[in-house]
Structure 1
Amino acid sequence: MIPDQPNDVSKRFFELPFEERSKYMSRDMRAPVRYGTSSNQNKDVVFCWRDFLKLSCHDPLSDVLPLWPSSPVDLRQAVINYSKNTKFLYLMLTEAILESLGLVDITNIEKEYDDELREFKDGSQLIVVNCYPACPEPELTLGLPPHTDYGLLTLLFQDEVQGLQIQHEGRWVTVQPLPDSLVVNVGDHLEIFSNGRYKSVMHRVLVNASKSRISVASLHSLPFDSVVQPSPKLISEDNPRRYMDTDFASFLDYSSSDEPKKKSFLESRKLMT
């Protein structure tokens, strides 16, 4: 069971009059609170069939909480609860990932373990609430085009309406919604950090002719000002470095440019194929 499931309050936010929602519109991709349509309102030629609300969850939350929408009245508390629960799960998954990479020994969780995990604990978190309205001609558009997430892990809660697809062995596979469950997506930063051991997941969102769809994504990575690079412990003569260093500012600059039309951000970071 997922505590404080966010789909109800999310739905009520998107049902607010446009005049209320539009208060939070911004073309600044760095804005701590941002409501809008499409992925990159500055560059997209064809907008995606979705509305979104992005909320930065900086620690302490008191710095950004006054900027979050105050309507519906329970939205702020619902996001606080949901962000804390997903952060807890993210850290559990991160511990398992670090162990699987041989970077920590879970039976010896002293200083080495704490040092390895500290930057992950202090990392960034962004809650993205998506609404994909029913579309009269769903074959003509997408909720979101094919893409990978920039961060380490994305924890996604989706309602009962199908829409999410992942690319597997060259074909698109629908991720069936399961009640009281989260979908975990590996992002670009984890592929870079693991030097290719974990692969970023290409995914897209379809829209529905008769039903709207709500999803809530919790995106996690290192602190925004951190440099993401392959772990030195995973680089050797037999497994050379495969990615250049990057940071969140580089991702935003790339996303705001015309480069994504040519290749993905992750492809731009690769030193070898």
Structure 2
Amino acid sequence: MARRAYSVTGALRIIHKSACDIMFKSKQFAGIIPVVDYKLCGLDVSDQQVKREDLYNAGKELIDAFSAVGFVYLTNNGVDSSLWQEIRDVTDRFFNLEVALKERYTSKESMLGYIGLNKENLDKSKPEDFKEAFRMDGTVFKHPEKLPEDICPGIRNLILKFMTICRSIAERILDSLSMAMDFKEEDSLNKCHNLLQTEINSSLLRLNHYAPVDQNTLKLGSVRLGAHRDRGTVTLSFQDNVGGLQVEHNGKYVDVPPLQNAILLNAGDALHSISGGLIMSKKHRVVVPQEEVKQRLTRHSYGFFAYPDDDVMINPPSIQNDETSLNELPHSMTFKQLFTNWYSKTRVPN
């Protein structure tokens, strides 16, 4: 298969305005996070009915928000909110099982399987991340037997359904962004993501489970999720109302308040590079709540990470980061190489 390349100066006619010139049109905000109403483009509007003009206008709003803050809430997205509760119920049943049962589904060789408590460390200045997770890439559709149906009945069909919906809304969002980014070919961005949820695209669904906190046993300085930037194009987050998520903004971390039935989107390093640095890929983290009542709550968050296809050539992000020195990276590499290079540094050695 021929390799494809993002070229900021070739495939994309650079957007002639800087971040400081951007005025976000919507007056709706949740904290500092802009809110975009997606009712004309959500999944309850069919592919045949959705209008190009509406996708374009929504894409412009998304780009404005990403350029200013790096995050945006997507309301009226067409994803049935009752599905989130079903996912929460079934994942609670799984994560509440004995550790030995869950660890039967641990995999060190693939991106499909269970990740135990304190097994990842996204911020090396902090102790290990205080969370569990179950992650799934596109191989799950060929190997659904790797989902823990035997110890958690009902999880298999529900997860496959949820992943399919995540792909559908991600593709609609990519449509909006691609139309609004002034590419020479309007579907350039889509073409670099046309293998979502296959074995040659690294896009992931992560079911994150943040257990109640016992301050007597928690390591000093612990966070639930270490500060990091996402490496892909765009991340879709479905979260409950417990809170704790923060984004770096103007040199400090700011709370990202939950917004009911909205999908929280954030731009990753790939989209930052594609946009020539206009769109911001922001560091974010999940901290332990200060309120004791919230410390006793389980936090649920489900993230779908839309990545370019594995063979797409991409320049390393122009932004500096703490995980990888850009001087150590070649001028360009496949997205798979870029992602693998970063992810290998987040694992906690056995």
TM-score of the aligned structures, taking structure 2 as reference length: 0.61
Identity of aligned residues (%): 22
Helix, strand or coil at the partner of 1:10: helix
- Secondary structure of 2:153's counterpart equals coil
In structure 2, give the amino acid aligned to 1:167.
E
2:312 to 195, 210, 226: 226
- The alpha-carbon distance between structure 1 residues 66 and 176, as it changes in their structure 2 partners (threshold 3 A), is same
Structure 2 segments unaligned to the other structure (5+ residues)? 1-77, 290-294, 317-329
1:190 to 271, 277, 282: 271
Q: Is the 8 A contact 1:142 1:207 kept in 2?
A: yes
Q: d(CA) in 1 for partners of 2:121 and 2:248?
A: 25
- The 2-side partners of 1:156 and 1:2 are apart by 12
CA drift at 1:257: 4.5
1:63-142 alignment runs, 5 A limit: 63-70=142-149, 71-103=151-183, 112-114=185-187, 116-123=189-196, 124=201, 125-137=203-215, 140-142=221-223
Do the aligned residues in 1 keep the contact of 2:233 with 2:269 (CA within 8 Å)?
yes
Any conservation in 2 of the 1:43–1:257 contact (CA below 8 Å)?
no
* Distance in 2, Cα, partners of 1:154 & 1:254: 17
Aligned CA-pair RMSD: 2.7
C-alpha distance in structure 1 between counterparts of 2:123 and 2:284, whole Å: 20
The SS at the match of 2:313 is coil
Counterpart in 2 of 1:175?
256
- Partner residue, 2:100: 19
Task: Return the TM-score normalized by structure 1.
Answer: 0.77
Q: Does 1:245 align with 2:332?
A: yes
Q: Is the 8 A contact 1:132 1:207 kept in 2?
A: no
* Structure-1 residue corresponding to 2:42: none
Amino acid at match of 1:73: P
Amino acid at match of 1:65: P
Bigger shift: residues 166-175 or 44-53: 44-53
In structure 1, which of residues 199, 202, 226 is the aligned counterpart of residue 280 of structure 2?
199
Equivalent residue, structure 1, for 2:28: none
- SS in structure 1 of the partner of residue 314 of structure 2: coil
Structure 2: how far apart are the matches of 1:254 and 1:244? 16
Q: Report the counterpart of residue 2 of structure 1 in structure 2.
A: 79
SS of the residue corresponding to residue 160 of structure 1 reads: coil
Aligned counterparts of 2:97 and 2:260: Cα–Cα separation in 1? 26
Deviation (angstroms), 1:20 = 1.3
**Hey, what does 2:239 align to over in structure 1?**
158
Structure possessing the higher relative contact order (Cα contacts under 8 Å, 6 or more residues apart): 2
Provide the rounded CA distance (Å) in 1 between the counterparts of 2:123 and 2:103: 20
- Using the alignment, how far apart are the partners of 1:79 and 1:252 within structure 2? 24
- CA–CA separation in structure 1 for the residues paired with 2:209 and 2:345: 26
CA deviation vs aligned residue, 1:229-257 (integer Å, no higher than 9, x gap): 49xxxxxxxxxxxx942322233234425
